[in-house]
Structures are given as C-alpha cells and as structure tokens.
Structure 1
C-alpha cells in the first residue's frame, strides 16, 4: 500500500513571501519520507467549508511546476482539475509540459467542478451540472487524442478543435495517468470505468466498498478489468494522532480494496508532521496488501 500527500491549505506558511520556501520544504520532506504522489487542489478561492475564502490559495499547475523544480522523484497531480477552468486542449498542453519538464512525473486529475463562488468571482462560466459532465467526458477524449497518434480535429458538442497537435509528446509512457475524482454512481464512476487509470473516492471504508461495487458493475458492462484502476481514498486521522493510528486506518481501507491512501498536509508545520506522524508509517504501510478487487 502507498501513501500520497494532499495539500489543501497554505495559511500555515505565513506571509506571501514565505509560501514558496514553505511549499518547497514540504515537498522535499514528502519525497524524503517516501510519499509517492503530491497533489494540490484546483481552486482559486479557499473552500468555505474548510476555511475563509480569503485564505491563501495557489493556482494548481503553477504550484506543481514549482514543486517539480525542487524535487526529483515525487509524482504530481491536481486533485482534481475542474473541467470548467481551462479549455481541454490547453489543459492537455499544460499537463504535457509538466510531464516533460519533470521527467515523466505528471498525472492528470479531472472532475466536473463545483465551487460556484470562485467561478462567478473570477468570471469563469459555470454551466449546469449535466453540461459539466458532458464537458468532462469530451475533455477526457480530447486529452487522450492529444496524447495519441491522431493530430486531427475533434468535433464535440461543447468543444471543437481544428488540430489536436501536442509536441513535444509526454515523457510518461504511453501517456500521463488519468485520475477521475468523485463517487457519483451513475456518471462519475462510469467515466472512471471507461477512461481512468485511478479514482479518488470519499468516505469511510464502508462507503468506499459500496462505491467499488458500483464501479465493478460499470467495468463489467464495459468489459474492463477493475484491477486496472488504482483506488485511492483520503485518510482521516487526528492532528495529534500516532503512526500506529495511521496504519490502522490504512489497514481498514486496504481491507476493502484501496491501494493508496492520501494524507492531508495538516497543522501549522505540515513538513514536521510528515516527519513525525506520516513518515514513520510509510515504510510499514508498504507491507499492507490491499484486498484483491
């Protein structure tokens, strides 16, 4: 079993001038303790459910480009990119650039987007949810076409591209891995079954187990092996927890088929917390064998 790290806040770093050094230290620490993949949110305002919208928030792909420059092995993704924020052809080019410059360490996380306030605040169109899911599927198709051998046109309902030219090609072979976030049973998990290399599911082990049953049915309907899809879940542990508590929580997820748990960067010193709470658990976690799906 692996552990990833997800950054949801930047207020711990201090002033704007301190955010860069703070993020660099956190990323280097994550790499040093054995974190596999580091992710950041795709938000322009902080989520109000977590903290005031006015709290500091960084643009995701610029942040990952910076992290790529201060690390050597750490994989990177946005968890997850909102389909509304960037035209899909541009998104494919951005992820390709990150992949090329990082030596093949970029992944694409993609979802239907939801945070209406930041859309309205920054003038980003926010279509109805049904249309956002239609755009999500077209965006996936466009990225796959740009990372394949077909440089021709794409003529969709919402996106029309005269050329899907993407040079240089990604370093990742055969292309950057695709993660789809969310657990919607009718649309999201069907898209996971059809397009994704990984999924990110919310909730405790029982909820994740139910979602995996739904995902399996979608995979069976499409003739796909569910074992081809990496299952990830966010790990909930108290800020004052212990490495043993982290391991027990990870074991509960592994028992339902989760292959990778994601720790959140927590506290006022998340790099220090990585060293004392999550770091000691990472190597022991590799001995945990997830349930076969």
Structure 2
C-alpha cells in the first residue's frame, strides 16, 4: 500500500507552511504530497493568511523537493481552460523532473466561485469529459503536428500542443461516488480511480463498478490504481489522539467512524480492512499543517506495518 499526504491549504496556510509539510513528507518517506485546489476556507475558520493557488504552489514545490510525487486532489474544471491547464501541468512536470499527477473534477463549492468571480455552470460533467479529452489529446499529439477539438464547451483550432510534459504519460486521477458516468470516465481516461471520503461499506462495490466499466470497453481493470482519501488523526495514546482531534474541531468517535483515527494499532487495523477491499493507495488528509509531529507519528508507527 502506498501512502500520500493530502492537505487543505485553503483552511489557512502560507506557502511556507505548505513547503514545510511537503519537505517533511519527503523526508519521512511518504510517496507523494497532494493538495486541494480551493480558494475559500470552509467552515468557521478565518482562512488567514488567505488562499494559495494550487498549481503555483506545486511549481514552487517542484523546485524545492526531489523525490515525492506532486498533484491536486482535485483541480476543478471551472478554474482554468483546458489548454491553459495542460500548459501549466506540463511546465510543472518539467520543473519537477517528471513527478506531477493531475486530479481533475467537476468542482462543487459554489460559494468560492461567487467570492472570486468564477463562473459556476449548473451542469459541469460534460466540461470534465471534454477537459480530460483535450488535456490528454494535447499531450499525446506528436511534436510537429497540431491538435483541434470542437465540443459543446470548448473549441481548439490547430493548437501546436506544446509544451510536452517530461513524463511520457502524466498520471490522471478521476474519482467520485457516481454509479455510472464517473466509472465510465475513469475507464476511458484515468490511470487512477479515487474515492474521496467514502463510507467504508461502499468501497468494494464502488471499485467493482469501475472494474466493470473497464471491462465494458476492453480495458484491463488492473491497469488502474484504486485509491481512497480519508482524514487521518492519530496519536500514541488516547490523550494525544483526543488532543489532535480537538485541534481540528472534530470528535474522536466521529473520526473513528469515518476516517483513519485513533492509536496506531487502530489505524493499522482499518488500513488492513481497506486493503482487503482493494485500496492500493491511501491519501492521508492532514488538517493541522503546523503539527509535523503528527506526520512523524504516522510515518514511524503506521506506515511501516502496511508496506
């Protein structure tokens, strides 16, 4: 099982805060550092010092880390035209030496769109499908040839389809709980299917739906990585766990019911059950970016038991 650190900087983090977590992620042996792509704090927090742009942040981290993978979980199709996003990702991939991954979704947080003047169409799934086709089409167009696309939402005319990423294929993550359209999209475009904060009882069935979607188009279901994102809050003792839960405004019982929570042995047991349901990669949602000791605990007491 692979372990990735997943952060929510819109809740209140500077670039330096994010950098400290990313460098700890690398030092402690985690597989990757991922961040949300949001511009507005959720809940009652102030969000100070304010949001950081996801791809600007990842560009900086590309130059200040050496090994870990870097990506978004997930970028919204409402934020950037697909041609521009393809350029941004290709450039950050070059800056990182080929370590970038793209998580892309429809977006959902209407309030942040209103706050920053970003259009929020009521129907966005078609935008997601076209963006996936355009972005991968631009990257896959041979050098010296052009790329054109005529869709309902986007039109590209004789694009030079440059620049190219360093990687021969940038991993693309598609996820969600939909029963039909999302699995079909993952089967067509993704290298990884992700379940964001699923109910534990639903995981095996959701993965089965994606496997069936792959088989329906002649794709090997095992060519996809199957992952889940879950909040992670742990401690060496019950007191330490409760302190960390309180620091992020969550109740211990609720965290245990829906996340990776409790003592090391509890978290290891939960991860073992996830592995049995087919989870190959786990995104550990870390909400308190100032608590680097928490990452130390997870890296030392949890991760080695699942690798």
Same fold per superposition (TM over 0.5): yes
Contact 1:84–1:113 (CA under 8 A) maintained in structure 2: yes
Single out whichever of 4-13 and 152-161 deviates more from structure 2. 4-13
Residue in structure 2 matched with residue 291 of structure 1 by the alignment: none
Supply the distance in 2 between the matched residues of 1:84 and 1:201 (Cα, whole angstroms).
21
- Output the TM-score relative to the length of structure 2: 0.84
Structure (1 or 2) with the greater strand fraction: 2
The answer to whether residue 103 in structure 2 is matched with residue 109 in structure 1 is: yes
**Structure 1 residue 188: deviation in Å?**
1.3
Supply the distance in 1 between the matched residues of 2:33 and 2:116 (Cα, whole angstroms).
26
Unaligned runs of at least 5 residues, structure 2: 235-240, 242-261
The answer to whether residue 104 in structure 2 is matched with residue 83 in structure 1 is: no
Supply the distance in 1 between the matched residues of 2:215 and 2:289 (Cα, whole angstroms).
45
**Structure 1 residue 268: deviation in Å?**
5.8
* Aligned residue-pair number: 276
Contact 2:12–2:51 (CA under 8 A) maintained in structure 1: no
Contact 1:34–1:279 (CA under 8 A) maintained in structure 2: no
Unaligned runs of at least 5 residues, structure 1: 14-18, 287-293
The answer to whether residue 193 in structure 2 is matched with residue 191 in structure 1 is: no
Where do 1:86-165 residues align within 5 Å? Answer: 86-129=80-123, 132-148=124-140, 149=142, 151-165=146-160
Residue in structure 2 matched with residue 276 of structure 1 by the alignment: 297
Contact 1:12–1:269 (CA under 8 A) maintained in structure 2: no
**Structure 1 residue 242: deviation in Å?**
2.9
Contact 1:154–1:164 (CA under 8 A) maintained in structure 2: no
**Structure 1 residue 81: deviation in Å?**
0.7
Residue in structure 2 matched with residue 2 of structure 1 by the alignment: 2
Q: 1:246 aligns with which of 235, 242, 267?
A: 267
Change in 2 beyond 3 A, CA 1:156/1:216? same
Residue in structure 2 matched with residue 289 of structure 1 by the alignment: none
Residue in structure 2 matched with residue 182 of structure 1 by the alignment: 176
Single out whichever of 277-286 and 27-36 deviates more from structure 2. 277-286
**Structure 1 residue 265: deviation in Å?**
1.6
Larger RCO, structures 1/2 (Cα 8 Å, 6+ apart): 1
1:129-158 deviation line (CA, Å, top 9, x unaligned): 2xx111111101111111112522111111
Q: 1:170 aligns with which of 144, 159, 165?
A: 165
Partner of 2:60, secondary structure, is helix
**Structure 1 residue 65: deviation in Å?**
1.2
